[in-house]
Amino acid sequence: MQEKIRNIAIIAHVDHGKTTLVDAMLKQSGVFRENEAITERVMDSNDLEKERGITILAKNLSIHHGGYKINIVDTPGHADFGGEVERVLKMVDSVLLLVDALDGPMPQTRFVLKKSLDLGLKPIVVINKVDRPGARPAEVVDMVFDLFCELQASDAQLDFAICYTSAKMGYAMREMEHPSENMEPLFELIKENVHPPEGDAAAPFQLLVTNIDYNDYIGRIATGKIFNGKVSSGETVALIKRDGTISKARVTKLLGYEGLKQVEIAEAFTGDIVTIAGFTEVGIGESLAAADNPIPLPYVAIDEPTLSMNFIVNSSPFAGREGKLVTSRNIRERLDRELRTNVSLRVSDTSNADTFQVSGRGELHLSILIENMRREGFEMAVSKPEVIMRMVNGVRHEPMEYLVVDVPAEYQGAIIERMGPRKGEMAAMTPMGDTIRLEFIVPARGLIGLRGEFLTETRGTAVITHTFHEYAPYKGEIPGRKNGVLIAMEQGETTAYSLDALQPRGILFLGAGVEVYGGMIVGQHAKDNDLEVNPCKGKKLTNVRASGSDDAIKLTPPRLLTLEQALEFIDEDELVEVTPMSIRLRKKFLDPNMRKRANRS
């Protein structure tokens, strides 16, 4: 059985087609009935994944093909979810490194490839989207080889197998000159190049927990790969915690994978990826082992968070109107629940009982958590993201990011000019047809608010990606937001009459008929200072009419900020109020006198 198992993960930069490739492999293997309606990107099951078209959580499935069982793990492409990739690499024996035939290796390609090379895995390189206009597969293969050399791959790893695919059209080929009509060449390549899982089937049972979930019927369930031995349903096994303590429980359910579905099985053997129920408290990185001979497994280290923000109990005048879960106890319980499955997240208490410091891998990592919480009925305020500094030999170090910007040639000057004040150092500049690829090493602080600025400068044509590079000595002050904000003076409902008068003062964030309160931010000021305004003033009606005074009011559509844009926009003394229905910006101190006092101090 062990000889016929192949465990692989699919790793790539965001949008290079990992989930679409899984779709094509599932269709080829006959998992779906002929008349079955198949959704696109079937592995992206979470609502947010479907909406944004990105993978957030790593997921398993298994395919039976030609007598072999191929266990596949689909991983996220965003650097912010790197923790998901790092822990699943311990479950597999090889990786499919997917690279876009036009874009070539990107920042996240470098990140996930380095992790897999460090673990000694031998990747199979898949050049995807070969049918794309402008595709340059031969050139991209050379770029991938250069990247392997740069990351100091071993000779065996440098001798990688190559496959050319179009996941969208559902075909793969060993060489560009020999076209095929299906994914068969990729399956053959996996069988030939991925070695069966190592491990001793006769040794005591050992499983490393790499994923945790909760089922309403059977409670907490743990997923992982069996490194040695076998396990049966109903058997008593030991749980070895990270601190070395051991507890025992009975396996109430043993689940394997058939295609996308979890199916109940009687027993599982070395090399298989299974899900086990029966433990009330089990964490990622812990080991399940034979009850009579419990031996723990070593765990892969997860990179530490680089960004933190405060989650604060909502104290605005509108608190509790839209959300059901508003207290510090509710928020703390939800964050504790998230910590069980989100390995890259850290939560710590502060001196204030209503404030929690939450640290993650990036803005997207934290904003996805906030978005999930507001959809569950939570209401809170969050502060501006701050980078996490480290002291190394008495010197303050900060996280640096590797930034890649693909931009039309006419805008390259504007991009380079913008990177100067943000302390970005150019690492490379590569022409790519009509566009130019600019690569920078920039402090993580310099990326906050960068995306909006770049998209404005390049008329929305820039493609921006970044990944964590290293910790380096502090680079000095980076200027913050240039513009001040328009702050509402009092509580009330905005009127078109007053907003019309405010339009020349800056950009408005809301339209007429919206409830506001004193201290709430209603727009961006055209100048660098904050300005208190009254957006609720109504027109005084008289029975005197004058020509020209009753012109129709024409309001410019307001700029409605998404959660990520709001987090990038706010300054040190501001908060984003997040509720299930609204995203509002506000000052930390709603009282103008308190604000003046805080500014003086």
Per the annotation, binding residues are 15-20, 128-131
- Rounded Cα distance between 471 and 389, Å, is 9
Q: Angle at the Cα of 40 (from 38 to 46), degrees rounded to 5?
A: 105
Find the distance separating the first CA and the last CA of the chain, reported in whole Å.
71
Contact 232, 266 (CB under 8 A): yes
Q: Using the structure block, give the residue that is written with the tokens 């280290």.
A: 301
405: enclosing H helix or E strand: strand 395-408
Bridge partners of residue 440, in order along the sequence: 403, 426
Nearest Cα to 499, choosing from 551, 541, 537, 540?
Answer: 537
457: enclosing H helix or E strand: helix 450-457
Nearest Cα to 587, choosing from 526, 516, 537, 535?
Answer: 516
Nearest Cα to 282, choosing from 324, 238, 317?
Answer: 238
Q: Which amino acid appears at position 579 of this protein?
A: T
Q: Which residues contact 526 (CB under 8 A, 6 or more apart)?
A: 483, 504, 505, 506, 507
- Rounded Cα distance between 258 and 455, Å, is 44
CB-based burial, 228-253: b 16+ in 10 Å, e otherwise: bbbbebebebbbbeeeeeeeebebeb
What 364-371 contacts at long range (C-beta under 8 Å, 24+ apart), as own/partner pairs, is 364/78, 364/80, 364/81, 364/564, 365/80, 365/81, 365/307, 366/307, 366/309, 366/567, 367/563, 367/564, 367/567, 368/48, 368/56, 368/80, 369/338, 369/342, 369/345, 370/563, 370/578, 371/48, 371/563
Q: Angle at the Cα of 395 (from 393 to 399), degrees rounded to 5?
A: 105
- Rounded Cα distance between 448 and 384, Å, is 9
Binding positions for GTP: 15-20, 128-131
Q: Return the structure tokens found at 189.
A: 């390549």
Q: Which amino acid appears at position 20 of this protein?
A: T
Question: Which stretches within 194-234 are classed as H helix?
Answer: none
Report the DSSP pairing between strands 355-360 and 346-349. antiparallel
- Rounded Cα distance between 4 and 228, Å, is 16
